Amino acid sequence: MNVAAAMDLPTLTLPRFVEDVREVAAPPGQVFDVEWLPDGRTGLFFRALEGGREGDVWVAGPRTRAVFKSKTGIARTVTLRFKPGWSVPLLGVAASELTDQIVPLEDVWGRAACELCGELLAARSRADLMDRVARALALRAGRPFETASGQLARRAVRLLEGGEVRVERVADRLGVTARHLRRAFIENVGIGPKEFARTVRLQRAVRMAATSCDWARIAADAGYYDQAHLIADFRQLVGLTPGAFSKRAGGRMTQPKLIMWDFALPVG
């Protein structure tokens, strides 16, 4: 990039758009696990393959079902999770087109994705890598702007994650119909508000289960009608019973894992 082009490049502050960043390294030959529970987020994955000279960049859309994958030949991963509603202006594709999809960024950006991968492979530090991602997003998106539907979806997200459990009440508080709110959610988040509310309850329950095995109390505190409702959601969204999931989580430190439901690294 020449100096004039660099001076004209819009600035993009990642913490405004990115919720968290996670980085995991694996010893050579080690199996690498990825666990992503439904959470209404779209993520950008960078993988450096063993040897460090090759890699790839992927986009993972919002999940309606958990994904559990095991891979070999991966030396390092860095994942950025976008705040709900911001993936559209940054990636240039409707969130609903990415729902339950994990696709190469090249399918979305074309050659620019290959250029970004080369930039990330050349990064010498985490801060350097983040700067390169920010520049690539700025080149792609310019100065991201807030559409009315995107702003509406993000306001609803804050209410749902802040404790409001009924989508109809959220719509009333925002002065729109439930149908209008659903359209905004599908376009900007990739799933409907009721589906998003389910992911909020699930994530709360998972957090609580880290320090408690009282599933009746967890169900009540996380916003479920009862324990049976919690078990049904775990089976449908995770594919496991709560007990089986806790057992799996308890053994997660036996090998490197990218776990998209525990505490995040700070952005920046």
C-alpha 9/C-alpha 258 separation (Å) is: 33
3-state SS assignment for residue 261: coil
- pLDDT, residue 151, reads 93
7 pLDDT higher than 70: no
Residue-wise pLDDT tens digits, 216-242: 999 999 999 999 999 999 999 999 999
Q: To the nearest whole percent, how much of the chain has pLDDT over 90?
A: 56
- pLDDT, residue 138, reads 87
34 pLDDT higher than 60: yes
3-state SS assignment for residue 133: helix
- pLDDT, residue 144, reads 65
C-alpha 138/C-alpha 206 separation (Å) is: 35
Mean pLDDT, residues 96-112 taken together = 94
- 214 vs 256, more confident: 214
Q: Is the pTM of this model over 0.75?
A: yes
3-state SS assignment for residue 202: helix
Q: What average pLDDT does the chain have? A: 86
CA diameter of the chain: 62
C-alpha 82/C-alpha 91 separation (Å) is: 10
- pLDDT, residue 161, reads 93
C-alpha 193/C-alpha 171 separation (Å) is: 10
203 pLDDT higher than 50: yes
Which among 107, 89, 109, 87 is positioned nearest to 99, based on CA atoms? Answer: 87
- pLDDT, residue 251, reads 56
How many residues comprise the chain? 268
Ranges assigned E (strand) in the chain: 18-25, 32-36, 43-49, 55-60, 67-71, 74-82, 102-104, 257-259
Q: Which helix (H) or strand (E) holds 178?
A: helix 178-188
| Strand partners for 21 | 80, 265
